[in-house]
Every structure is written in C-alpha cells, then in structure tokens.
With several copies, the nearest count.
Chain A
Amino acid sequence: MTKNSVNIKLGGEAGQGVESSGMGFARAIARSGLHIFGVQDYMSRIRGGHNWYQVRVSERPLYAHEPKIQLLLAFDERTVREHLDEVVEGGAVIYDEGLKVDEDEIKSKGVIPMPMPLLKLAEELGGSKLMLNTAAVAAAAGILEFDLSYPESVIRDSFGRRKGSEIADRNIRVANAAYEEARRRYAHLFEWKLEAIPDAPKKMVLNGNQALGLGAIAAGCKFCCGYPMTPASSLLEFMFAQARRFNLVVRQIEDEIGALLHAIGAAHAGVRAMTCTSGGGFSLMVEALSLAGSTETPVVVVVAQRPGPATGMPTRTEQGELLFTLFAGHGEFPRAVLAPGSVEQCVYEMARAFNLAEKYQMPVIVLTDAFLANSLRSVDMDAIDFRKITENIDRGKLILPHEHEKIDEALKDGYRRYEFFEDGISLRIPPGHPKAIYSVAGEEHTPEGFIDWEERADNRVKMMQKRMRKLEVAVSDMKLPQLYGPQDAELTLVCWGSSLGPTLEAMERLNDNGVRTNLLQFIDIHPLDWESVADILANCRRWVSVEGNYSAQLSRWIRMNTGLKPAGTVTRYDGRPLNPVYIVEQLQSLLVKV
C-alpha cells in the first residue's frame, strides 16, 4: 500500500465540469490535512474539445505536477485514449460503464479498468445526470478509501448555501452510493490510499491569481481595473468579488489602454491602484507605461503570460515576455519587474510591488503566467501571514491631500512635484490641497511639473538623471536571487517565475540521483545589484537556465548585465508547463552535450 502519495487526473469535454470537480476534490483532500497541487489544461472553447484536471497529493508541500498518474477519472472516451499511457502499472481508470472503452487495452497496459454505474446513480439517486461529477469523484474517494466526509463537506459548501440544501442532499446521496459501490468493487485492487491527518495545520487551497488578489488587498490596493484576458481575468474577477467586502473600486474598462490609464489616474489621486492583463493586453499598455514612468506615477501591472505571438494559445502557458516587459515603452524610464514563483510568493511580492511602486514612484510589473495563475496549491494557513504585509506598508514620500498637518510641516516654501533630491525621489502630494496645486506632464517638465516649453537641455539632463537615479537607489530594496538546496553544487539550475516549482523538484531528483544540484531563483528581475549576481554566478560551478520560453530570456538578461553565459538552457515552448521529469530529461541530453 502506498499511503498519501497519489496523482489523479480527471478528463472530459469542456462543459462537463472537469475543472470544478477536480478543484472540489483537491479542496476536500486539503481539508483532510494533506497537501495538494492541482493543475488544469483546457482549450480555448466553451463546450466540447478536451480538458483535464490533475490533482497530486502528498503529505508534504507540493510545488509542481508530475506526468505519471495512478488514477484516471474519464468523463469521456477520449480521455481514456489520450491519457491511458500516463497511468502507471497497477493504476486504475474509472469511467461510466456506458462509455465505449476497450477494457482489454487498459488491461494490456497493466492498468485496472473500473467501470462504474455513475450516470445511473446520478440519475436514479440524484435525479439529474449533472451529478455524474459527484458520483465520479466519490467513486475515486471510494477506491482511495478516503474519508467521504471531506468531499461531503465541500459539496455542502458549494450547494448548501446557494440553492437550498435539497440539491446538496441529493448530491450527497449520490456520493455515498458511488463511494460504497466503488470501494466494494475495486478498493482491494488499488494500491494507493489517502488517509486524513486530522491534526495537521489547517490549509488553504488557492491559485496564483487568488494569491495575487490577497496580496493586493492586504497591501491596501483600493482600485483595480482591467479588461478580461485569459489567464488574468480570474484575478480581475476575484477583485470584483471582493469589492463589496473591502470597499474596492473595481472596473472593467473598454480596453487595456484605458485600464492602465484608469489606474494611473487613481494612483495620481493617491490611491493604490493596479491593473492586470496578459501579454496581448500589455502590448496595448505600453504607451501608458511610459507615461507612468515620465509622470512618476506608482502603478502595479500584473502580466499573466500565455503563449504568443499574437493570440497564440490563449489557455496555455509560457514565460515569453520577460524581455518585453523589461524594455516595453518608448524612451528610457525606471520600472521594476518582479516574478513570483509560488502561491506564497504571489501574495508577498504583490504586496511588495505596491511598496516599491510608491516608494520609487514608478510602475512595477508583476510577471506571472497561466501555469502559476491557475495551478491550485495547498498552503498552511499560517504560511500566509498578513501581518507581514500590513505592518510593512511603505508609501514612500507620500502625503495625502487631507493630511493637513503633515503638509503644513513638509511645505515650508511651496511645493514642487518633481523637485530634485539626491535619491531622485520627490515629495508626492496628490491634488487637493490648496498649498499643493500643480500640474504634471508626460512632456519633459520642470521641477514644478510644467511642460518645459523651452525644452532646455540642462533641465532635461537633470530630469533624466533624477528618474533613472531612482533605479540605483531601489537596488537596495531588491532581493538577490534566492538559493535553494546545497550551498555547494556541481550544477546550478537558474529559474524565474513559475518554473520554480518544477525546477525545485527536478533539483531534488537530481540530488537523489547523485548529481549535486542547487537552484537559484530570480524573483526580482529588475533592478538588481548585478555585481553581486555576477559574484553568485561566478561561484557556481556550472549553471543552466530553466525557462518556459524559446530563447531562454532570463539567461539573455543575465548576460546583458553580467556578460555571463549559462552552460546550457532548458526551455519549453509548447504551451505546456515545465515539469520535473521534463527538466531532468532535458538536462540529461544537455549535459551530454555540455
């Protein structure tokens, strides 16, 4: 028997509820005290096609998914066809007995076919074929001998409130029957089991976008606007859902141009403001980004990457916009780029983005991708400590217009929005106070904020230096890449963003295989103390960059700033997330070459 370590895949057409079933099951498992990692894969269509959802379970925290599965829940025949090869020997396939599935083929792979009267149970006991999902998940719980009370509690929470408990009751009736039937028929054949750990720390289950939302709200973001774009939409929608509770202004705008400009307007008024989009939408924000740079307006832009160019593969993942976000915008101006790599980092880095934006009065880009945005992870409740955020709010040199006393104190001889200081950062008083009436301009301006209509060379030089100076000062607030694993290693994997999880596990595997490996994660991409980075890399025996893009963009960025070149690169650009097995395989073929 293998306890508490299993990888389950649900598959079916769009519209069959694959994702919601998978997420519900993941949540139920997390409630039992186990850790989960849930990843989805869906097509850019609303009905039909083929979607799957995968839930990996373990007693320790998980950061990535795995290609090999033990249990396949097939909602349609295609799922069996497409995923049978992923099931390990001794694993099982659960499906409705009405599906045309070739049992012999399943058996020939050493996998156990487990047909079940799912539809029948749903219709007979639940009165609706829609409850097939419930039956399927319950059947899985049955063969895993997983305490059904956890799935039941999730069912209660999702149906109990909304449509009266009658539907919940019927679902639970279906679940019980499917559970018992599956356990009776198949549990003894199946090696993998799930056993609750009731005294484990309480867990949350959330994805990257939800984590970003939590971070933003905790940091005091009060204004969020955007235009729907996968995979960023669910962040926007999360903010909409929280608007009432946290007194936020959340707005859907006519386009992404307007979305960033709205945020700039709100930030100009002294409110923490953000927008979120994907690469295509960010393309439209580029001009406004430059305006934020010029007017020194602190805004936070979340860019959740997906495969380009153009519309690319809307529902899949890629890390193809590192260099784009670094250089986007006409003219030269300061910005920061942060790339959190896990759910926890999403929470904290998002909050930090607001601090950096306001402290340095510049736009801050938070780079994620579909894999990070959508993947569910369980984290201990305590791992997300909001005090770390709320107690560290840093609004920099901001005084709000209604803070009369502070203004009186600060303003001895008038207010100049872009006054020169050694650190390049001027006092920021949003409009509204009679002593601080001023203009700002996207044109090159005077310290007062007026357009410098004489276009004086000396003022221009000072303003450019002032703005760019902020980057140098900000370096002190930026984190050097973080090392995981042994200090001393023969191989260092260098990664950023969502590659963290898969690369971490790849590192563990390599160490298990006797290749002493560590990992260097870049969360802060820009600005950075590149001399120190160069030192760190120079101390690495051999480093390889691991990235979800074609041209190994981080490694190119590193080379631009340090001259250093990796021994090789592991890249992936087929729209699928990196995973530990893929990374190790690629490294193997690479290391032969290197």
Chain B
Amino acid sequence: MVAQVTMKDLQSPVEPTWCPGCGDYGILNAVKRALVQLGIPPHQVAFFSGIGCGSKLPDYIRANGFNSLHGRPVPIAQGFKLAHHDMVVIVVDGDGDNYGIGGNHWLHVMRRNINITHIVQNNMVYGLTKGQYAPTSMKGFVSSTSPEGTIEWPINPIAIALAAGATFVARGFAGDPKHLADLIAKGIQHKGYALIDVFQPCVIFNRINTYDWFRERIYKLEDDPNYDPHDKRMAWEKAHEWGDRIPIGIFYINEDLPTLEEQIPALSEKPLYQHEIPPKLEDLEALKLMFV
C-alpha cells in the first residue's frame, strides 16, 4: 500500500451533478486526498453508496464503485468485504440512507467491527428528493414534510455509535477538506469499523445549517490537549455538545478489538474470492458419510 497515487489517478470521466457550492464537493476532495495520502491505488479501493445526492460520489472518483439502494450500502459492503478482505472498503451514504431507512444495518455493523470506513454525508436534510426533513434535522426544522417544523428530536449519530460499539467515531466538516481527509485516512487505517459523520452543507434545501452556521460553531477536539479519544466517557460528554460549540475530530478510538474478518477461520489464508472451487471430490464424498 505504498504505491504512488496522484489526484489525477483518481479523476473520473464523469462530471459531478451536484449543485454549485454543495458540501459534497468537499467530501469528494477529502476522499481523494486521503487515498493519495495513503497511497491506495484505485483498483484497491471499493466504494459502496446508497441513493441520494451524496451517494453519487462513487461515479465521481476513479475507483471501484457500487451505487446501490437507498439505505442499503452497508450490508452490501460487508458481504463484499468478507469476500475480498484485502480491498479497502469505503461506504459513503447520506444521513437519510444511514440514520433513516438503513438504521438497522448501521446498528449492527457497528458491533461487528468489520474493517470498513463509513462516511456519512450529513446535510441534515433529504437532498435528492427535494428537501424533506432528515433524522438529523434539528427539532423544529421546516420542510415540505414538516411545514410547522419537525416534532421529533434528531438522532445523535456520535452518541449512538458510541453506544453501539463502534471502535472509531469521528465527525468532519465538508468545509474543511484537509482536516476531513485526515480523518478519513485515519479511519481507513483503523483496523475495524470507522464512522465519519460529515457536516455537509446542502445549499439548496437546508438554509439553517449553512457553511457559516457550522463555521461559527465547530472546533477541533484535537486542539484540546486534555481530550483523550480513548476515553469513552469523555467521548460521550463531547457527543452531547451541541449549540454554540460543536466539536469535530476523532471522538473515540479503540484499537484493541479484533476485526470480524480476523475471527472467521475461512479467511485466514487468502480472500474468499481466491478460493478454488469446487471443493475436492474426496471431501464431498466424506461429507456423505454424515448421512449414513
């Protein structure tokens, strides 16, 4: 993994269809930077996305991609990873995908510690379907499906990730692609499941949580010398900070747990897709004896 990879290597022939100014550009940029930084060549990384504005990202980067169903990239990525575990697997999906319709897959992937990096494009709104509220929309958010403001409290992705057993929990900001690239690179390097929730301004449908709104509030956890991301208690505190000051950076990291792949005997030698099939005839014949 110390190949020389340039931004150009990652250049897709497809032009992004995102609105000018959309936060997704920053995320795309950060993802590329991270791959360059780590020297991961495009054929050794596979992106899995859902359906939504941000989920179009795999088409906009030269790499393996799978644009799947709304809310469903996480299980596909897991199946893929278990079949090809030396591939770098990255899920990119929206807050609707992952915290809305796909919430159950998320809840369960976190306790498996499978080595996948998960970037959630959190614009706190449904972009592609034209502006309904999202699970992360702030209470009172007015949208076409909440004309008088939402009456549900938003999901706190960081807190839930901590509670559900994620071993790497971070938050980035699309307006700071350099910092975000660093988080993504760390997430990829992390042995296990890494969540990177990204504040991603939607310049069309979310007129509340704008670049300015975020810039006025966010600060970096790593700037606090007392903050220890290995301390879950601290992470839990910070996860609840919202309002005037909102932390970004790595909330929590735990490097001590084995990954899912490491615990599956069939994967100890080589990736599953390289296993020869069919099995040996003598093994099959021996199996028959079970039924005598």
Contacts and interface: CB of A to CB of B under 8 A. Distances in A.
B65 A381 contact: no
A247 interface: yes
Contact of A451 (B18, B56, B130, B278): B56
B81 to A, nearest CB: 7
Interface stretch (B69-77, B172-180, B222-230, B242-250): B69-77
A254 B104 contact: yes
B83 A265 contact: yes
B30 to A, nearest CB: 19
B165 interface: no
A223 B65 contact: no
B87 A432 contact: yes
Contacts of A165: none
B281 A390 contact: yes
Given A219-B278, A311-B51, A393-B278, A246 B75 contact: no
Contact of B148 (A43, A244, A433, A451): A244
A219 B48 CA distance: 28
Interface string B186-227: 000000000000000000110000000000000000000000
A402 B274 contact: yes
A129 to B, nearest CB: 15
Given A266-B272, A270-B273, A291-B69, A233 B285 contact: no
Contacts of A229: 129
Contacts of A273: 79, 83
A438 B265 contact: no
A269 interface: yes
Interface magnitude class on chain A: 35 or more
A288 B278 CA distance: 27
A439 B65 contact: yes
Contacts of A451: 56, 59, 67
A254 B265 contact: no
Contacts of B238: none
A241 B83 contact: no
A386 B281 contact: yes
Interface string A401-433: 110000000000000000000000000001111
A139 B188 CA distance: 57
Most buried by B among A15, A254, A314, A400: A254
A311 B72 CA distance: 12
Interface stretch (B32-40, B139-147, B251-259): B139-147
Nearest to A403: B274
Most buried by A among B14, B59, B145, B291: B291
Nearest to A430: B273
A268 B76 contact: yes
A162 interface: no
Given A46-B19, A272-B277, A432 B105 contact: no
Contact of A439 (B20, B66, B283): B66
B216 to A, nearest CB: 25
B67 A442 contact: yes
Interface in A81-104: none
A255 interface: yes
B77 A439 contact: no
A259 B105 CA distance: 10
B84 interface: yes
Contacts of A393: 277-278
Contact of B69 (A210, A227, A230, A288): A288
Nearest to A247: B266
A400 B273 contact: yes
Interface stretch (A172-180, A198-206, A474-482, A522-530): A198-206
Interface of A: 15, 27, 30-31, 43-49, 202-206, 210, 214, 217-220, 222-223, 225, 227-230, 233, 236-237, 240-249, 251-259, 261-273, 280, 287-288, 291, 295, 310-311, 314, 381, 384, 386-387, 389-390, 393, 400-402, 430-434, 436-443, 449-451, 453
29 contacts: A46-B204, A48-B19, A202-B292, A219-B278, A220-B277, A223-B83, A247-B266, A249-B82, A254-B135, A255-B71, A255-B104, A257-B75, A258-B105, A261-B75, A261-B79, A262-B75, A265-B66, A265-B82, A267-B79, A268-B66, A271-B83, A295-B66, A314-B128, A431-B87, A432-B84, A434-B43, A439-B47, A439-B65, A441-B67
Interface of B: 14, 17-20, 41-44, 46-48, 51, 53, 56, 58-59, 62-72, 74-84, 87, 100-101, 103-105, 107-108, 126-130, 132-133, 135, 144-148, 204-205, 264-267, 272-275, 277-279, 281, 283-285, 287-288, 291-292
Given A46-B130, A258-B75, A439-B59, 10 more contacts: A46-B205, A218-B279, A227-B101, A243-B265, A244-B148, A269-B80, A269-B83, A393-B278, A439-B58, A442-B68
Q: Which 4 A-B pairs have the closest CB atoms?
A: A265-B79, A220-B277, A439-B65, A262-B79
